[in-house]
Chain A
């Protein structure tokens, strides 16, 4: 693999599709991501404020679905794998390094702030929408789920609608 060059997107897409097929064949479910972040949040709350964890209905729903422990979830293990896989890919393509990317018109500080805000919105939205682009959109397309594809269209439609207003973040 040449340094810094990305794989042909169609080839990468097929590779991703094959991973998804294998996952569905073996486990009967698709891939996901936001659920693992939820596990981290729940674990944190349980450790820091256990009484609140016990009394809140939302956390108790989560606890009921994860009887073996708040971090023992399929998605948590998958995301650990994602970290490893991405790191390996970055290694062989020479893309490892502490850096960030931003539009030319803003400062690094602005970028970090917008990243946090964007993450906050996406985290909230992923819970409301019952999945993020990986869990709802990608896996949803693979199993032909109506809900998945509706969420996907809402995500892309929403992004396109707001794109113009935030263009200063990305383009000159």
Chain B
């Protein structure tokens, strides 16, 4: 029982980080109908940026987040402008899968050339300290990671719900044609939306780098989990992605605690397959809005 509760706590805390990554990915899908296979690679890229800032200038990964988000936002906008915009509309969804995968490979290759292929980790002073609450051990880093993820998600929701840009984004998600008719510059919404997705990857990347060791190939693990999460939550639904991330990472942590860590990876996929059998559009997906 102790292991189970410990697993649940760990799962919820980790779920926050995954929620951040997945919200960016599902946002990109919602706006552009593009499944961004480079989301995991962008997270790892941001982790390396945070690593470099930490080892070279001693900047704390949490404090580096404003800088890395801005950098990654710019990177995301560039990727959209250079690689995704030229695609023709009629087969955009298929081709964009390939393009974003190629971008992922490009990032992986560049990271490998720059930093090598060995595992790196960011060893902040507080990386190993932990609190004990009623007999349950919780590492400080995870708490901070969770709080930060909640904060970043809060900012994301604020942008989406309270700003002009956010309204344009939501309009585009709901109905691209009408949004365009009403004067939303769909092209710019796409570019900035992709940037916003990359920015969430940046925030998540700093946190990920603190929590786990990483190497350029880590994005394969990440992307498979992220995809399960966004499909479970319903493609395009940010709230759904957050809830799905918590569900999935909690159950995977429970499996890791009670059965074996080797099988926790499988939890993601088992849940995914069950969802597809019972509710193919995901928890919060709409049947008629292109998610399926």
- Please indicate whether A and B come from the same complex rather than being unrelated chains: no
Mark A residues whose CB is within 8 Å of B.
none
